[in-house]
Amino acid sequence: MKTIFYTLGLLLVLVSEKTQAQLNFSTRVVKDSLFIPWEIIYGPDNHIWFTQKNGYVCRLEPTTGQTDTLYHETDTYILGSGEGGMLGMALDPNFNTTPYVYVDYEYLQPGTTNYRERVVKFTYGANTLSNPQILIDNIIGATYHNGGRILIVGDKLFISTGDATIGPNAQDLQSLNGKILRINLDGTIPADNPIAGSPIWDWGHRNAEGLVYANGKLYSSEHGPDTDDEINILVSGRNYGWPTVAGFCDLPAEQTFCIDSNVVEPLYAWTPTIAPCGIDYYDHPMFPALQGSLLMASLKDMHLYQLVLNAAKDSIVSAQILSSISFGRLRDICISPAGSIFISTSNSDASGTGAKVDRIIEIYDGSSTVVNLTNEAGIVTLYPNPVKDDINLLFGPGTLNKEWRYHITNTQGQILKEGKLLPQSANQQIFTSNLPSGVYFFTLWDNRKAFSVQRFAKF
């Protein structure tokens, strides 16, 4: 019998109530009448970028709801009511200077019934996407288990692929299915990949549909069969067990395979399954109780989860349901620099034949006592901007001799640098010489009460 982390409804209720008592959620529908917004990204332009499964890439102004269609991929194809179509998306880390958009979608090869998956790089300009360049192609697709989440870490693009309902694909190193792939942003294969000449980063996956990079680690969420949905930390050149292993190495046959194949066990597993999907990392003072946690959308049980991490960020202490969030099936999640959480739903018929009933929703604390210092001139100033080497901070008199926390994130929301400051004089400096050229967000907060979010460029 597989390891079961929780099945008792009473325990879930108690955990949910405990979490909810610490939080004060307000919600607002930002956009409705959508068709399965599969990927949502809070971009460096303060817009939400999103894909829809029927081939559309859109850009949304989150205050007014104004939405622009940037591109429609007419080759996008959905098999029946399956999991394919237009799926993952990522924005270039240096988006303001290199405005590239990366998209993952399924299509039918012309004149055949061959269902395939590819990743394409577009150029953004004049409110449209153009100049498509295929980076990787001919990944086998299926009605189910297509993966499809993509993520940029540094100058590398990670791609999750499903086993296309053929379990042995995941262990076959000649197949791109059931893997995490890693390529350069121009589609070439990195020289330091674990298998020379191959885009494979790791293998043994059934269907990973969530990826986030935080704390120097790449986390994923993955669908299990009838047991053992998983959260994993992805490590180069390692085997995650599928189809021989589901969840932990706790059955005799699994234990033998795990030893022989050096299998990585998950951080957490759910039985019964919940169908985990998009994940993100939360570290903002708007919701102090969520700080330092992974947040995860789920499809089957229709909840938003807080996955509480240990101090080393390499283990999950508890998985808690944020019980007041009830919008049906949840597909993806992103977080704004101001701390708001945005979720997308997945309630439309996946075939695209029915009504488009999906929404993008903002979750925020309407009674928050957090003060945005960015709007108070002279309180905390970042200079110069653009930054050449290191960040200089000018603190106003009322901000001295207080403990401040800060982090620096890239345009994908990944935390690249963090620490504490105790300014005793107005001028402070933070070492950023090791950051590559690009656009970043600098967030500063004091005792979880006041924060400043400022965008800066480094050259």
Same fold, 9-364 and 371-458: no
Q: Are 329 and 53 in contact (CB under 8 A)?
A: no
Give the contacts of 222 (CB within 8 A, at least 6 positions apart).
205, 206, 207, 208, 209, 210, 229, 230, 231, 232, 240, 266, 276
Question: Which of 145, 223, 284, 303 is an active site residue?
Answer: 145
Q: State the residue for tokens 């205050």.
A: 63
> How many other CB atoms sit within 10 Å of the CB of residue 334?
23
Query: In the CATH hierarchy, which fold is given to the domain comprising 9-364?
Result: Neuraminidase (2.120.10)
- Separation between Cα atoms, residue 258 and residue 249, nearest integer Å: 6
Phi, psi of 397 (to 5 degrees): -55, -35
pTM, to two decimals: 0.88
Q: Give pLDDT tens digits along the chain (459 positions).
A: 344 333 333 233 334 333 443 578 999 999 999 999 999 999 999 999 999 999 999 999 999 999 999 999 999 999 988 999 999 999 999 998 999 999 999 999 999 999 999 999 999 999 999 999 999 999 999 999 999 999 999 999 999 999 999 999 999 999 999 999 999 999 999 999 999 999 999 999 999 999 999 999 999 999 999 999 999 999 999 999 999 999 999 999 999 999 999 999 999 999 999 999 999 999 988 898 999 999 999 999 999 999 999 999 999 999 999 988 999 999 999 999 889 999 999 999 999 989 999 999 999 987 776 777 765 555 788 888 888 889 998 888 878 888 898 989 888 788 889 899 988 888 899 999 888 888 888 988 887 667 788 888 888
**Is CATH 2.60.40.3080 the classification given to domain 371-458?**
yes
Concerning whether 145 is annotated as a catalytic residue, the answer is yes
Which sequence spans correspond to the domains of the chain?
9-364, 371-458
The Cα 309–Cα 323 span in angstroms is 19
